[in-house]
């Protein structure tokens, strides 16, 4: 008798839901099957149900999918930040295993509600999409630390180089531009980085400070004569680094995936032009309603004395993470995009350069690694075994979120926040 497929329900048929999870599940060798998809936007769930395979039931919201009789082994929650905690709690209470997009929630109360629901349902696995933990690059850095290649870890210097164009797309014009609608950038973007720092330090944080703010993408930096939309004959179109006409229309010409797919379903040149004229992505970056910080630095002290700094930078050409880990007798320097790690040995003065193999797929192979791990663990339940916990426990994922929320408080209150 053929083995039953692992059945998955998807909440949020947007970029992550369809282009990442939907596609990875459709092609997965373990025999997983999407059985339901939910989206608030009329037509999106139906379209996804058609493109991702046959026999998929479409629902008009995450809440309606979760109120139906249980219809899958697991639920993937890939809806916007503000919906995560509520949907995750409902899914856990219904007995679904959960793959939850970050952030877990956007406040301490929400994050703790998910933790409480998970604690009350130990038979359920809750996996947070901290995809960087599943990359060969960050795993190699962790292995070098554990092997003692630099001695005891003393400091972490980590930079999330968001890239000027990516920041303009997501955090000035796009869905993550306002802290009251999504999460502050240090949580929305850098919970990954704080999770990595906590993993490297191997201890919880005890104090967090932070400075920074919205320094560049604001009206007082607008070039003279720049209209509200890049499509309205902007006089600086040819020289502006952020011209939507040139970015989406020229530099991204021919790309039908992210970031162009975020503009709407019609990614043809005409469709893109229309979206720029009418939608949020055609707005001048200096005249949006954004408020999240575009340059922020956080300082974190961990319980074992390790001290880390995190820079979250919009104004950078790099679109990757760079990190330096310093120990008593050596230093590790990593560049994620280049897949390169330097091991500096203070005693010999030697430098070993490790060039890792190029990783295919989103987030340097992290998306694939996360889905593989999640499905493998669900596969155990098909064999009648209990589902193993995720490599990254929910408790550790929550630590990174509490660090991010503490950093945001520290920034706004110009204080150092002690962590309980
Ligand atoms: N792990 C990562 O590295 C990573 C990367 C990018 C985005 N994300 C996270 O993934 C999530 C989705 O991001 P995206 O880029 O796919 O956004 P998106 O806007 O493209 O997709 C979200 C979809 O959810 C739908 N939706 C809204 N409310 C809903 C509800 N109550 N029930 C069902 N559907 C609902 C929207 O209509 C939309 O289609 C976000 O929380 C984001 O922060 C994580």
- DSSP secondary structure letters along 69-134: SP--SEEEE-S-GGGHHHHHHHHHHTT-EEEEPSPS-SSHHHHHHHHHHHHT-TTS-EEE--GGGG
**pLDDT (mean) for 289-293:** 97
Q: What is the pTM of this model?
A: 0.94
Instruction: Identify the residue whose C-alpha is closest to ligand 1 atom 3.
Output: 131
Mean pLDDT score across all residues of the chain: 95
What one-character-per-residue DSSP string does 312-355 give?
A: EESS-S--EEEEEEEETTEEEEEETTTTEEEEEETTT--EEEEE
Report CA(181)–ligand 1 centroid distance (Å): 13
Inform me whether the pLDDT recorded for 235 exceeds 90.
Answer: yes
Q: Which of ligand 1's atoms lies nearest the C-alpha of 258?
A: 15
Q: Is the CB of 261 under 6 A from ligand 1?
A: no
Report CA(390)–ligand 1 centroid distance (Å): 22
| pLDDT given at position 152 | 97
Strand 126-128 to strand 97-100: parallel, antiparallel, or no bridges (unpaired)? parallel
Inform me whether the pLDDT recorded for 3 exceeds 90.
Answer: no
Q: Convert 288-326 to b/e letters by CB count within 10 Å (16 or more is b).
A: bebbbbbbbbbbbbbeeebebbbbbbbebebebbbbbbb
Q: Which of ligand 1's atoms lies nearest the C-alpha of 87?
A: 31
210 vs 71: CA distance, rounded Å: 45
Q: Ligand 1 test: best mutation among 10, 11, 13, 14, most atoms within 8 Å of CB? A: 14
53 vs 38: CA distance, rounded Å: 15
Q: 291: which residues sit within 8 A by CB, 6+ positions away?
A: 177, 178, 179, 180, 214
DSSP class of 416: P
Report CA(102)–ligand 1 centroid distance (Å): 10
Inform me whether the pLDDT recorded for 223 exceeds 70.
Answer: yes
Q: Is the CB of 101 under 6 A from ligand 1?
A: yes
Inform me whether the pLDDT recorded for 29 exceeds 70.
Answer: yes
Q: Is the CB of 85 under 6 A from ligand 1?
A: no
pLDDT 10s digits, 145-159 = 999 999 999 999 999
Q: Which of ligand 1's atoms lies nearest the C-alpha of 17?
A: 16
| pLDDT given at position 180 | 86
Inform me whether the pLDDT recorded for 386 exceeds 60.
Answer: yes
Report CA(11)–ligand 1 centroid distance (Å): 9
φ, ψ of residue 36 to 5 degrees: the values are -155, 150
308 vs 291: CA distance, rounded Å: 26
Report CA(220)–ligand 1 centroid distance (Å): 31
DSSP class of 283: B
* Residue pair 405/104 in contact by the 8 Å Cβ criterion: no
pLDDT 10s digits, 164-214 = 999 999 999 999 999 888 889 999 999 999 999 999 999 999 999 999 999
271 vs 276: CA distance, rounded Å: 9
Q: Is the CB of 16 under 6 A from ligand 1?
A: yes
153 vs 36: CA distance, rounded Å: 46
Sheet holding 57-59, edge to edge: 57-59, 32-38, 6-11, 74-77, 97-100, 126-128
**Nearest Cα to 282, choosing from 244, 250, 249?**
244
**Nearest Cα to 6, choosing from 87, 82, 88, 96?**
96
72 vs 74: CA distance, rounded Å: 6
Report CA(82)–ligand 1 centroid distance (Å): 10
Inform me whether the pLDDT recorded for 229 exceeds 60.
Answer: yes
pLDDT 10s digits, 248-258 = 999 999 999 99
Lowest mean pLDDT among 93-97, 164-168, 392-396: 392-396
Report CA(14)–ligand 1 centroid distance (Å): 6
Beta bridge partners of 332: 325, 343
* Residue pair 411/210 in contact by the 8 Å Cβ criterion: yes
Residue 1 banded pLDDT, cuts 50, 70, 90? very low
Q: Is the CB of 13 under 6 A from ligand 1?
A: yes
Instruction: Identify the residue whose C-alpha is closest to ligand 1 atom 25.
Output: 12
pLDDT 10s digits, 35-52 = 999 999 979 999 999 999
Q: Which of ligand 1's atoms lies nearest the C-alpha of 183?
A: 43
Report CA(347)–ligand 1 centroid distance (Å): 49
Per the document, the length of the chain is 420
Inform me whether the pLDDT recorded for 243 exceeds 60.
Answer: yes
Q: Ligand 1 test: best mutation among 78, 175, 186, most atoms within 8 Å of CB? A: 78
Q: Is the CB of 80 under 6 A from ligand 1?
A: yes
Q: Ligand 1 test: best mutation among 48, 79, 84, most atoms within 8 Å of CB? A: 79
């Amino acid at each position: 008798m053929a083995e039953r497929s692992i059945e998955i329900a998807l909440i949020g048929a947007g970029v992550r839901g369809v282009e990442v999870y939907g596609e990875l599940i459709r092609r997965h060798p373990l025999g997983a099957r999407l059985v339901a998809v939910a989206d608030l936007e009329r037509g999106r769930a139906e379209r996804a149900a058609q493109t991702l395979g046959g026999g998929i039931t479409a629902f008009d919201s995450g809440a309606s999918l979760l109120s139906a009789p249980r219809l899958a082994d697991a639920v993937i929650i890939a809806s916007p930040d503000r919906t995560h905690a509520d949907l995750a709690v409902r899914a856990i209470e219904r007995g679904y295993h959960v793959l939850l997009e970050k952030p877990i929630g956007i406040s301490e109360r929400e994050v703790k509600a998910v933790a409480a629901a998970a604690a009350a349902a130990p038979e359920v696995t809750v996996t947070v999409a901290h995809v960087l933990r599943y990359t060969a690059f960050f795993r190699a850095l962790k292995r070098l630390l554990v092997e003692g290649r630099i001695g005891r870890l003393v400091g972490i210097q980590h930079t999330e180089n968001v890239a000027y164009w990516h920041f303009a797309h997501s955090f000035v014009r796009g869905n993550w531009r306002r802290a009251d609608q999504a999460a502050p950038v240090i949580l929305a973007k850098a919970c990954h980085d704080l999770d990595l720092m906590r993993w490297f330090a191997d201890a919880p944080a005890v104090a967090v400070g932070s400075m920074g703010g919205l320094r560049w993408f604001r009206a007082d930096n607008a070039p003279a004569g720049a209209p509200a939309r890049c499509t309205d004959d902007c006089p600086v179109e040819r020289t502006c680094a952020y011209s939507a006409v040139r970015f989406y229309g020229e530099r991204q010409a021919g790309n039908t995936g992210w970031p162009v797919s975020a503009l709407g379903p019609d990614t043809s040149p005409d469709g893109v032009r229309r979206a720029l004229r009418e939608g949020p992505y055609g707005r001048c970056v200096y005249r949006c309603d954004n408020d999240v910080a575009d340059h922020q630095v956080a300082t974190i002290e961990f319980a074992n004395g390790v001290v880390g700094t995190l820079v979250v930078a919009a104004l950078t050409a790099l679109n990757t993470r760079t990190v330096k880990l310093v120990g008593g007798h050596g230093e590790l320097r990593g560049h994620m995009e280049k897949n390169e790690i330097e091991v500096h040995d203070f005693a010999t003065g030697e430098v070993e350069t490790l060039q890792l193999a190029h990783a295919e797929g989103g987030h340097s192979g992290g998306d694939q690694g996360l889905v593989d791990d999640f499905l493998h663990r669900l596969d155990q339940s098909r064999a009648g075994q209990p589902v193993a916990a995720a490599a990254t426990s929910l408790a550790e994922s929550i630590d990174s979120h509490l660090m991010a929320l503490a950093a945001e408080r520290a920034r706004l209150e110009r204080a150092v926040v002690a962590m309980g």
